[in-house]
Amino acid sequence: MPGVSGRELDVVGGARELIGGCLAVTGADRVLILTDRRTRHLAQVIVTEARALTGVAKLAVIPDIADGYPAARAEIERALDRYEPTVTVFAAADSGDLLAWDATFWKRLEQLGSRHAHMPALDDACLGLGMAVDYAEVARFTLAVRDQLSGSRSLRITSATGTELSLTCGLDRPWTPFTGLYQCAGQGGRLPQGEVFCTPLTAEGVLAVSVVGYPFNSESGLLAEPLLIEVADGRAVSLRHPDRDLESRVRDWLTEAPQGLRLGELALGTNRALSALTGNLLFDENVPGVHIAFGHPFPEYTGADWASPVHVDMVVQRPSVQVDGATVLTGGAYAGAFGEPSPDVRSCP
């Protein structure tokens, strides 16, 4: 997808940053890349870069998750047992994000002490643009944004597509950074990456969404017209879109789940090497801007005192953001010197 953010695709450079930068692979590591037929061409680039750093780098092709999660999950477990990796990469299609919500999978990685990159919708843009950046700088900026947002009380989000949303934050709801660096034993998360997030206390207004998250993202992509969500007292109270089928499916998914209509996450993307949405949530969450999720608030990070079995991210296209009256983003670009100073990002606990 050349030109998505004004750069040519560089899948080799992206794989090199993934392996050598984000996961800090050395000759002492055992690397396992989990892939499927659809993503194998990109996984092969990743394993080639891994083999340049360690002699033990394996590629395991699993059954398509769309054809049945249990069979794919069983093959993943067999591969983990066979290779006992210290570094793992999941680079396969998972449109329902099932593996990410599988506690037994993460428990197994914890037992192995594996550093893990989770890439459930990997495509050329994710590897060739989203990963072909300096993740030490992404991490530095992300931590600086976290520091500057900490203690903030009010945010206002607007966009040319129709967003007019006011949110109130609390000191007991901390901002959490996801930097994309998983360099210490047991660390792991999604890549591409770069965001800071919290669970707001409440929200009022209208959210205009250009990308709808899992389990709708693989079909809906980048919407030609935004999904409009009216929010009152921190909950979605109405949804409107010209595609009535999409509108009803999203409404039903959120309505039928306990706490599904509740606003669980407010996040700012912090990967400034990216400048435009692609329609792939794995990429778009990290573009400078805003995404908001309804459902599960990940209380272990946010301090929220509730939970939900669903979590649907909603990405706003090129938003402007004010925090306690100060401009942070204008049309999807960070303002001035926002993001200074430069904290150290590479030490392990």
Give the model confidence (pLDDT) of 4-24 as tens digits: 555 789 999 999 999 999 999
Are the C-beta atoms of residues 107 and 82 closer than 8 Å to each other?
Answer: no
Residue 208 and residue 315 in one domain: yes
Q: Which pLDDT score, from 0 to 100, does residue 8 have?
A: 83
In a domain, 340, yes or no: no
Are the C-beta atoms of residues 45 and 37 closer than 8 Å to each other?
Answer: no
What domain range includes position 241? 135-334
Residue 274 and residue 141 in one domain: yes
In a domain, 349, yes or no: no
Q: How many domains in the chain?
A: 2
pLDDT along the chain (349 residues), means of 10: 64 98 97 97 98 96 97 98 98 96 97 97 96 96 95 96 97 95 96 97 97 95 97 97 96 97 98 95 96 97 95 97 95 82 63
CA 230 vs CA 26, 240, 292: distances in Å = 49, 9, 13
Residue 169 and residue 252 in one domain: yes
Residue 161 and residue 309 in one domain: yes
**What tokens appear for 314 in the block?**
């909603």
Element (H, E) at 123: none
What SS3 class is residue 270? coil
In a domain, 113, yes or no: yes
**Which residue among 69, 104, 130 closes a domain?**
130
Q: What is the pTM of this model?
A: 0.93
Rounded Cα–Cα distance for residues 93 and 119 (Å): 8
**What tokens appear for 265 in the block?**
């996450």
